[in-house]
Structure 1
Amino acid sequence: MEVEDEAWSKLSIYKAARTIKKRDNSLYNALRSIYQDSVFVSEISQLWPQLPLLANLRCGLWYSSSFHSTCYFKSTDGHTNNCSFSTSRLNLHVAHLAAQKGGCMVVDSTRRGKRFPDSMSKTIPIWTCVLNRAISQFRTDSNIHENDAALPQEDCNGCDEIARDWDCSLHLPLWVPQTEKASIEEHLEEWTEQLKASGADIASLAVSLKKPLRPLWISQRTVIWLNEVPHHDSWDFTPIILVSASSSSNGVSQHNRTTSEFSWNYIPGAGDDEESWSRGLTPPLFWNHVYDLINSGPEMCNQKVADIVEKSRVRRAYRGENAPQIRVKSISHEEPSLASDVSNIEVDANESSEDFEVSWLGSTNLAVGASQLATDVADVDCILNCDSESISVSLPSEEAYLHLPMVSSKFDRFSLFNNLSKAVSFAKFNLSQGKRLLILCNNGEDISVCVCLAILMSLFDEKGTFDDGESFNTAHITKWDMRRRLVFVCKFATNARPSRGNLRQVFNFLIGGKCILQPQEGDRSDE
């Protein structure tokens, strides 16, 4: 009997702990924490107003209403003893933007226990170092002078000196151990060769970048003397200023805050893992209604968010855009309630920002984008829709539209593989007639990019010229071939974020073998 009572006691303690944690991680606490951290981000951005502000997807996107652009540096590429350099996420647009503006600022945040996420502590420093090394080698090999002009042969001796002045060191923050730094440095040459072999346009970077890239770190614990803030042009490097929006206090996760009206708990890195707390709210919706949400208080916040999300869905539906109904799961055995009961709202995890772009891939007549844009894009002759939902479009004929519903490998490991043959055939028929093809998916970042990659590999040569598949039929496709084409796609579609599982399906389709997609040891998804 005592054993049974002890079991019930432990269960009650567990339930109580879960209840407290759920209360502390409430929607209002998350939004209020994001808003408070955004004030810090705004203050830092005003110190260097000439530098563009970039959000590191996805968490960083919540912390400002006025980002210049986005980037995608994954923390997994900077995990301890597992660091890597990804040719699938080169973020070359960040380097070009920094070259054009004299630097840039990247915003992200992290949960408790850290001042900076691994993306800032190691992923971005590795990225800047590898780019600097590749640029230095290119400048040496091509005799590029500091003023970006080719030197006469008699003056080429100066190029070696310039190359030596180009900083190729690995700059890591002080909290990264020396042993780990030494381990990373052992791979720098390998990663530099991978970058050069990927087909990335190092030449344009070598010409536009006046000073080597170098990361700087700023958090809410950084001491900044306002009368001593240097101008970004005064540095002998191109700064990539890494702003961690989170407030940290000796690893404590929750901090009680009180205003004149409400008490609430601060959550470090509240913008992370938005599917678990946002209930369909997106960063643009949040910033469009930020003061209403903050002033609504903990009791009314859930209802306010439900109203905002539903009104946004109705507006999209009226415009003919993809607007799935929000589903509600009840935690009891009762029937599901209305959407206003937001305690357990389930939404499409891929439904994100309302700001989308169509990316035309040079002169290939191919473009990728989100299905929300289909009705607004001009100069499109045909559309391949890979979204799960069909859309209403105005095209010259019914044959100019093909709907092939596909889902991510997270939900179906064979979805892309089973549809790529039809997708390539549709593209071949239309591109051979000189038509402009738009490939859509729900977010324009993953599935549409992978389908476009398969079409490029199947129907275009290395130079991006349509050859009706002649070069593909005579080539032996390797993973490096596919990576080089992916670099080409990402050059134009800077928001591309193809997952590893989807890319694997594309590769299996291209090599014509069986789609064997068993997970390998150490493999991780790029979702």
Structure 2
Amino acid sequence: MENSPANLSIYKASRTIKRKENTLYNALKSIYEDSVFVGEISQLWPELPLLANLRCGLWYYKKFHSTCYFKSTDGHTNNWSFNTSRLNLHVALLAGQKGGCMIVDSTRKGKRFPDSMSKTIPIWTCVLNRAIWNYRVKFGSTRSAEKNESNDSIECGNTNNEDSYSWDCSLHLPLWVSNTERALIEERLDGWTEDLEASGADIASIALSLKKPLRPLWISQKTVIWLNEVPDCDSWDFTPIILVSTSSPSSNFQQSTTSEFSWRYIAGAGDDEESWARGLSPNLFWRHAYDLISSGPDTCNKKVADIIEKDRVYRAQRGENAPQISIKPSKSSGSSGHFPVREQLDLERLRMNIDEKSYDNDSISWLGETNLVVGATQLAKDASGVDCVLNCDSETNSPCLEEFEAHLNLSIVSSKFDRSSLLRNLPSVVNFAKNNLSKGKRLLVCCSSGEDISICVCLAILTSLFDDRGRFDEGRFFSETRITKLELRRRLVFICQFAVNARPSRGNVKQVFNYLCGENVATTS
């Protein structure tokens, strides 16, 4: 009976109804309505920078100070993780400078908050707090740490001595996370802290920037806020990471009506943009938001198609004069013994870089003093100070690349489509990089987004051609050393300190590791 024509018809009918409700206009209208809430919350603490959690959160406001990348999968039950490939250290530095920050995300699963906010970020704040405390104890950089050496009763986050500085290292989770799950997460915190400390992350700069420990707070459309009692951030004894979930607490599909037309609300509409956005990006949406929303559902698809085509023609004919973001460290005052951890960052320079950067998805990032630059292909022509280009974009072969003294185009696709595409091309990548870097040239590595394939290509180059202190040696260190996953992770952490939009996929990082271990394509197919 289950396969009867009647049942199949009901199934097809329900799918048709769902597709009809999940229209492009319904998604954009839902995002637009939810953005009003984001604007209201941002005005409660206007001094705090607003960050979008990629990718979904990026749709929900017209202007963000920066972005971050906390994955919900790292907070899924029995899959909790602190991922050193997504450290988001720039978020901690920004929060330290500004006194906190707000992170915007959404969920379509009938929950008030995505798991990225319920567990991933709370785990992240706790692990960072513990690593900072350990650093301060080790180097005696707080009065509390000095007292801790002479008084065993004074511990991290648990001190009654009014002369000591309290540093909260406890795990702060929302009330809806069960005690059982809390206990299982707490069992893993020490191990995650050790992983962070071993990764080569620049804990020193964060410890210098943060005056109070990080702590998450949760705000949704169901949260009750008395406007006459909104606290000043400076009054808290912690640095707030305010987690703003845009999803309406109403049912996932709620009929709404205006004077001209009706539409259905979609919670978390910004998620999985490939399935609904038809090539529209958040930047393009907000550039034309009023026109798209006010015109109604009947003309929405055509308007979006026209907007995308005009933007494509504009890029093809003229290119975008996007701002370049260049973050370079001060020289280290000493050697840490591994790739290359800065003992102290020039915080004034860091503050200038953060102040100048309001969010732009397109950026060019210099990787310290390695003569390597990473970014999006469309920005290659605007990368000043670059001598040669390695383009890994499978879709774009820009004529502007031929203007550089040396250039190489490689068609590399994501591991989702080809599990060995990057691996097959890495010998050519390393050979091209070696020939040019050995002549003192500055090499730009680019891909369509500047966030995944280009990051992994830089990882392969840094590991193959640089020693453990970040000095170009044409591969001598690599030829004499067995590269471990820990060493690879340290170098990836180094890259992510500069390329804050980096989002390397696990499949592509695995291909880099396989290449460095000498595995051929056949073993990974």
SS at match of 1:440: strand
* Alpha carbons of structure 1 residues 284 and 517: separation in structure 2 relative to 1, 3 Å: farther
Q: 2:231: which partner in 1?
A: 230
Q: 2:511: which partner in 1?
A: 505
Q: 1:244: which partner in 2?
A: 245
Aligned residue pairs total 478
Q: 1:404: which partner in 2?
A: 410
SS at match of 1:106: strand
Q: 1:12: which partner in 2?
A: 9
The Cα shift of 1:112 comes to: 3.4
* Alpha carbons of structure 1 residues 309 and 319: separation in structure 2 relative to 1, 3 Å: same
The Cα shift of 1:209 comes to: 0.7
* Alpha carbons of structure 1 residues 191 and 420: separation in structure 2 relative to 1, 3 Å: same
The Cα shift of 1:162 comes to: 7.8
- In structure 2, distance between residues paired with 1:112 and 1:473: 49
Q: 1:217: which partner in 2?
A: 218
The alignment status of 1:274 with 2:280, answered yes or no, reads: no
Equivalent in 59, 62, 66 of residue 65 of structure 1: 62
- In structure 2, distance between residues paired with 1:280 and 1:262: 25
- In structure 2, distance between residues paired with 1:159 and 1:272: 49
Q: 2:203: which partner in 1?
A: 202
Do the aligned residues in 2 keep the contact of 1:447 with 1:498 (CA within 8 Å)?
Answer: yes
- In structure 1, distance between residues paired with 2:368 and 2:522: 33
Structure 1 residues 228-253: Cα deviation after superposition (integer angstroms, max 9, x where no partner)? 0001111000000000011023xx21
The alignment status of 1:45 with 2:51, answered yes or no, reads: no
Equivalent in 37, 43, 52 of residue 55 of structure 1: 52
Q: 2:355: which partner in 1?
A: none
Q: 1:172: which partner in 2?
A: 173
- In structure 2, distance between residues paired with 1:480 and 1:516: 25
- In structure 2, distance between residues paired with 1:76 and 1:394: 38
The alignment status of 1:427 with 2:449, answered yes or no, reads: no
The Cα shift of 1:60 comes to: 0.1
The Cα shift of 1:163 comes to: 4.3
Q: 2:99: which partner in 1?
A: 102
Do the aligned residues in 1 keep the contact of 2:148 with 2:154 (CA within 8 Å)?
Answer: no
Do the aligned residues in 2 keep the contact of 1:387 with 1:405 (CA within 8 Å)?
Answer: yes
* Alpha carbons of structure 1 residues 396 and 19: separation in structure 2 relative to 1, 3 Å: closer
Equivalent in 453, 463, 470 of residue 459 of structure 2: 453
Structure 1 residues 170-224: Cα deviation after superposition (integer angstroms, max 9, x where no partner)? 0000000000000000000010000000000111111111000000000000000
The Cα shift of 1:378 comes to: 1.1
Q: 1:256: which partner in 2?
A: 255
* Alpha carbons of structure 1 residues 433 and 118: separation in structure 2 relative to 1, 3 Å: same
Equivalent in 23, 32, 35 of residue 26 of structure 1: 23
* Alpha carbons of structure 1 residues 320 and 106: separation in structure 2 relative to 1, 3 Å: closer
- In structure 2, distance between residues paired with 1:172 and 1:298: 41
Structure 1 residues 291-347: Cα deviation after superposition (integer angstroms, max 9, x where no partner)? 0000111111111111111111111111268xxxxxxxxxxxxxxxxxxxxxxxxxx
- In structure 2, distance between residues paired with 1:517 and 1:70: 37
Q: 1:318: which partner in 2?
A: 317
Gaps of 5+ in 2: 158-165, 321-358
The Cα shift of 1:159 comes to: 11
- In structure 1, distance between residues paired with 2:522 and 2:206: 39
Do the aligned residues in 2 keep the contact of 1:40 with 1:245 (CA within 8 Å)?
Answer: yes
Do the aligned residues in 1 keep the contact of 2:389 with 2:404 (CA within 8 Å)?
Answer: no
- In structure 2, distance between residues paired with 1:8 and 1:32: 36
Do the aligned residues in 2 keep the contact of 1:140 with 1:163 (CA within 8 Å)?
Answer: no
The alignment status of 1:393 with 2:390, answered yes or no, reads: no
Do the aligned residues in 1 keep the contact of 2:220 with 2:245 (CA within 8 Å)?
Answer: yes
- In structure 2, distance between residues paired with 1:414 and 1:443: 19
SS at match of 2:46: coil
Structure 1 residues 78-129: Cα deviation after superposition (integer angstroms, max 9, x where no partner)? 0011111100000000000000000000000000320000000000000000
The Cα shift of 1:513 comes to: 2.3
SS at match of 2:215: strand
- In structure 1, distance between residues paired with 2:156 and 2:206: 15
Q: Which amino acid aligns with 1:88?
A: S
Equivalent in 493, 496, 504 of residue 502 of structure 2: 496
TM-score (normalised: structure 2): 0.88
Q: 1:372: which partner in 2?
A: 378
SS at match of 1:248: coil
* Alpha carbons of structure 1 residues 79 and 461: separation in structure 2 relative to 1, 3 Å: same
Q: Which amino acid aligns with 2:439?
A: Q
* Alpha carbons of structure 1 residues 477 and 293: separation in structure 2 relative to 1, 3 Å: same
The Cα shift of 1:397 comes to: 6.1
Q: Which amino acid aligns with 2:467?
A: D
Do the aligned residues in 2 keep the contact of 1:320 with 1:391 (CA within 8 Å)?
Answer: no
* Alpha carbons of structure 1 residues 240 and 481: separation in structure 2 relative to 1, 3 Å: same
Q: Which amino acid aligns with 1:475?
A: T
Q: 2:77: which partner in 1?
A: 80
Q: Which amino acid aligns with 1:364?
A: T
- In structure 2, distance between residues paired with 1:33 and 1:209: 37
Q: Which amino acid aligns with 2:398?
A: I
The Cα shift of 1:455 comes to: 0.3
Q: Which amino acid aligns with 2:316?
A: A
* Alpha carbons of structure 1 residues 105 and 238: separation in structure 2 relative to 1, 3 Å: same
The Cα shift of 1:11 comes to: 2.0
SS at match of 2:104: strand
Structure 1 residues 487-527: Cα deviation after superposition (integer angstroms, max 9, x where no partner)? 000000000001111011100111112346669xxxxxxxx
Do the aligned residues in 2 keep the contact of 1:199 with 1:484 (CA within 8 Å)?
Answer: yes
Do the aligned residues in 1 keep the contact of 2:389 with 2:446 (CA within 8 Å)?
Answer: yes
Do the aligned residues in 1 keep the contact of 2:131 with 2:197 (CA within 8 Å)?
Answer: yes
* Alpha carbons of structure 1 residues 48 and 516: separation in structure 2 relative to 1, 3 Å: farther
The alignment status of 1:383 with 2:389, answered yes or no, reads: yes
SS at match of 1:299: coil
Q: 1:475: which partner in 2?
A: 481
- In structure 2, distance between residues paired with 1:89 and 1:57: 12
Identity %: 68
SS at match of 1:298: coil
Q: 1:90: which partner in 2?
A: 87
Q: 2:305: which partner in 1?
A: 306
- In structure 2, distance between residues paired with 1:355 and 1:205: 24
Do the aligned residues in 1 keep the contact of 2:419 with 2:524 (CA within 8 Å)?
Answer: no
Structure 1 residues 39-90: Cα deviation after superposition (integer angstroms, max 9, x where no partner)? 0000000000000000000000000111000000000000011111100000
Q: 2:296: which partner in 1?
A: 297
Q: 2:348: which partner in 1?
A: none
Q: Which amino acid aligns with 1:92?
A: L
The Cα shift of 1:157 comes to: 4.2
SS at match of 2:299: helix
SS at match of 1:110: coil
Q: Which amino acid aligns with 1:392?
A: P
C-alpha root-mean-square deviation of aligned residues, in Å? 2.1
Q: Which amino acid aligns with 2:203?
A: I
- In structure 2, distance between residues paired with 1:452 and 1:468: 15
Structure 1 residues 255-287: Cα deviation after superposition (integer angstroms, max 9, x where no partner)? 111111111110000000111100111100000
SS at match of 1:375: helix
- In structure 1, distance between residues paired with 2:380 and 2:419: 27
Which of 1 and 2 has higher RCO (CA within 8 Å, sep 6+)? 2
Q: Which amino acid aligns with 1:102?
A: G
